[in-house]
Chains A and B, each alone.
Chain A
Amino acid sequence: MSEEKIKDLEAWFEARIANEEKIEPKDWMPEKYRQTHIRQMSQHAHSEIVGMLPEGNWITRAPSLRRKVALLAKVQDEAGHGLYLYSATETLGISREEMIEQLHSGKAKYSSIFNYPTISWADIGAIGWLVDGAAIINQVALCGTSFGPYARAMVRICKEESFHQRQGYEIMLTLARGSNEQKAMAQDALNRWWWPSLMMFGPRDEDSPNTAQSMKWKLKRKSNDELRQQFIDQTVPQADLIDLKIPDPDLKWNEERGHYDFGPIDWEEFWQVVKGHGPCNKERLAARKNAWANGEWVRDAALAYSEKQKSKELNKAS
């Protein structure tokens, strides 16, 4: 294709998106659009899958059967989210196997939040409340994104997320209204998860060079800082209600702005975790690689069985 022809196609493509049209897998698309979507969607899928690990840690030790079935259902939902997103990404021409290899080699990232440990039961509450809460804000913004399969996966995911956040907040509320030890446990979990949750929205706007392009393709509707502010504004009153203290001495309501002001985020910590030096990066990746390697014989056996069944049927027919 000539360069001029590609320019024309690109202009037509951008106009379609500006016009609220959806792009479907077989439509013509600029290579950069394809690559950006493969990267973002596969990383989103990996986050759902790796995200099962910190919570899975507590399934066998949930304090009651009610909590256990809820956590099990929540973690199972996250597996489902990973699967919706992997298959949506495959429509762009990358195989499942390739995506998994990219995760294992470190070429593809997943959300850094899952590199923090879950050391007490209250962490399960904090994750549902804060981590799923932050994820919902990001994901609601993506329901109207331009790539059809991604948008459809997001709509499904958002429907399922709200129970995740509610079950987390309910855990925090129960602990916060319990014994002194239980309350201290809830406060400790909030102390540890608050800042990493704020980092989930990504770097400050001035350090986020892709924003303009992402806005055009509707991969973003609002900037990182806007979404972060929205999260803080919605979460502070929820903490107040259960009498837990947000671990930020600079946090205070700003009447003029109509938002909470908050203290500086430790971006050095953020980049360290992104680069692989968080508390659990090695453990998470090792768990995924082991699961893949240990499952290989199962995958192979299932395929061999299906091939055998097929040839049996052929023999019967002849």
Chain B
Amino acid sequence: MKKDWPLWEVFVRSKNGLEHRHFGSLHAADAQMALENARDVYTRRNEGVSIWVVESKHITASNPENNPEMFEPAKDKVYRHPTFYKLPDEIKHM
């Protein structure tokens, strides 16, 4: 049998209060082994308090070729930002 173990993506919460962040990927035969390998590969120096692993094949990614229609519509909507609204100088904090 010649077969790579499946690929997993590893997400680590570096401390409580912060979100899990993508740290990298690794190969493992199953989820339990992926967690154990993730601990050894990505948290050898207390980099984390919680780990998520998900098999890479379950991730659906957007295609960079579609970036114009995906992301550009947000660009000209300046009215979604506070700086769009002109207020008198007397209003200090708003």
Contact = CB atoms under 8 A, between A and B. Distances in A.
Query: Is A bound to B?
Result: yes
A160 B63 CA distance: 33
A95 B30 contact: no
A152 B40 CA distance: 18
Contacts of A27: 64
A97 B61 contact: no
Contacts of A88: 24
B49 interface: no
Interface string B19-60: 000001111011001000000110011000000000000000
Interface string B51-87: 0000000000101110000000000000000000000
Interface of B: 1-5, 7, 24-27, 29-30, 33, 40-41, 44-45, 61, 63-65
A299 interface: yes
A28 B65 contact: yes
Interface string A273-304: 00000000000000000000000000110110
Nearest to A301: B29
A143 B4 CA distance: 29
A53 interface: no
19 contacts: A24-B64, A26-B61, A26-B64, A28-B65, A73-B44, A76-B40, A80-B40, A83-B26, A83-B41, A84-B24, A84-B41, A87-B7, A88-B24, A90-B7, A90-B25, A95-B4, A96-B4, A302-B5, A303-B5
Nearest to A88: B24
A302 B44 CA distance: 24
A218 B22 CA distance: 24
B79 to A, nearest CB: 28
Contact of B64 (A28, A83, A95, A97): A28
A80 B41 contact: yes
B30 A306 contact: yes
Interface in A74-113: 76-77, 80, 83-84, 87-88, 90, 95-97
Most A CB within 10 A of own CB, among B2, B4, B45, B65? B4
A97 B41 contact: no
A306 B29 contact: yes
Nearest to B3: A303
Nearest to A87: B25
A309 B44 CA distance: 29
A204 to B, nearest CB: 36
A303 B44 contact: no
Most A CB within 10 A of own CB, among B29, B30, B40, B63? B29
A26 B40 CA distance: 28
Contacts of B29: 299, 302-303, 305-306
A290 to B, nearest CB: 17
B4 A97 contact: yes
Given A26-B64, A83-B26, A299 B5 contact: yes
A26 B62 CA distance: 9
A24 B26 CA distance: 18
B48 to A, nearest CB: 13
B30 A309 contact: yes
Contacts of B30: 302, 305-306, 309
Given A83-B41, A84-B41, 19 more contacts: A26-B61, A27-B64, A73-B44, A77-B44, A84-B24, A87-B25, A87-B27, A88-B24, A90-B7, A95-B4, A96-B4, A97-B2, A97-B3, A97-B4, A153-B24, A299-B5, A299-B29, A303-B3, A303-B5
